Amino acid sequence: MTDTAPAAPRGIDPRAPRFAAWITSALLLVATFLGLIGIGGSRFDPAFVLTVVIALLFLWGVVSPTTSPWSVLFRRVVRPRLAPPTDLEDPRPPRFAQGVGLFVVGVGLLLHVLGVPLALPIATAMAFVAAFLNAAFGFCLGCELYLLLQRAGVFGRGPRAA
């Protein structure tokens, strides 16, 4: 007779992506504002630099979500002060949402470098709206897109609940 312990629940605290979304939405709001006022007069102005930093944070969230700065900050500083989560969330939709954010700001950065007027603040404003919806209301647009694509068969279905 073998004694096997049940597998540890796989998932993330659903409050972690919302925490990260608050910080991300603040950064995106500043980048949008800087892009609209156009400080610097060059293509590599403060809005561009901040948006590059935001894109790198999105990339980090896609490549290694457990080591991303907001994840580490949540785990070490915020979560110990909270009650344990009542349920855990599949990490794939929030990770996909990070990729969508990376895509949106990446397109804005590329178009900005190519000289398209207002491309950068439009892209950061779009990403801000998505991040703010997640932070304030728990509605993750990227996660919903992931689920729609999963239902359409683009992504394989996860394990079914018993």
Are 24 and 98 in contact by the 8 Å Cβ rule? The answer is no
pLDDT digits (tens, 9 = 90+) for 14-70: 999 999 999 999 999 999 999 998 776 666 789 999 999 999 999 999 999 999 999
Q: Is the pLDDT of residue 4 over 90?
A: no
Predicted model pTM: 0.86
Write the pLDDT tens digit of every residue in 86-142: 999 999 999 999 999 999 999 999 999 999 989 999 999 999 999 999 999 999 999
Residue 38 resides in a domain? yes
Residue 137 resides in a domain: yes
Count structural domains, the chain.
1
pLDDT of residue 92: 94
Instruction: Determine, yes or no, domain membership for 5.
Output: no
Per-residue exposure over 95-134, b if at least 16 CB sit within 10 Å of its own CB, e if not: bbbbbbbbbbbbbbbebbeeeeeebbbbbbbbbbebbbbb
- What tokens were used for 61? 């969230």
Task: Kindly state whether residue 160 falls inside one of the protein's structural domains.
Answer: no
Residue 162 has pLDDT above 60, yes or no: no
In a domain, residue 39? The reply is yes
What is the domain extent for residue 112? 15-80+91-151
62: in domain:
yes
Residue 104 located in a structural domain: yes
pLDDT at 161 over 50: no
Q: What is the pLDDT of residue 70?
A: 94
Tokens standing for residue 60: 């980090």
4 or 10, which is more confident?
10
